[in-house]
Amino acid sequence: MESIVAQVVPMLEGSARPEGVEDDWIINFFNHARHIDDKEMQTLWARLLAGEATEPGSFSKRTMNMLRPLDKREAEVFANFCRFVWQIDGYAMCLVYETESSYLEPTLYVKSGITYDELSHLNSIGLTTLNTNSGFRKGTSLDSITVSYCGSVFSVNMQGLEDKSIERGFAVLNQAGRELAAITSPVPVEGFAEYVIARWRASGLDVTPSTTSP
User: What's the rounded Cα separation, in Å, for the pair 27 and 110?
Assistant: 40
CA-based radius of gyration for the chain: 19
pTM of the full structure: 0.86
- β-sheet bridge partners, residue 91: 88
User: What's the rounded Cα separation, in Å, for the pair 7 and 33?
Assistant: 13
Domain ranges of the chain: 1-69, 76-214
Residue ranges for the chain with pLDDT beneath 70 = 100-105, 212-214
Q: Output the DSSP codes for 49-61.
A: HHHHHHSTTSS-H
120 sits in which H/E element: helix 116-124
Nearest to 94 by CA among 81, 110, 106: 81
Tell me, what DSSP letter sits at residue 90?
T
The per-residue pLDDT for range 142-191, each reduced to its tens digit, is: 889 999 999 899 999 988 888 888 988 899 999 999 999 999 888 999 99
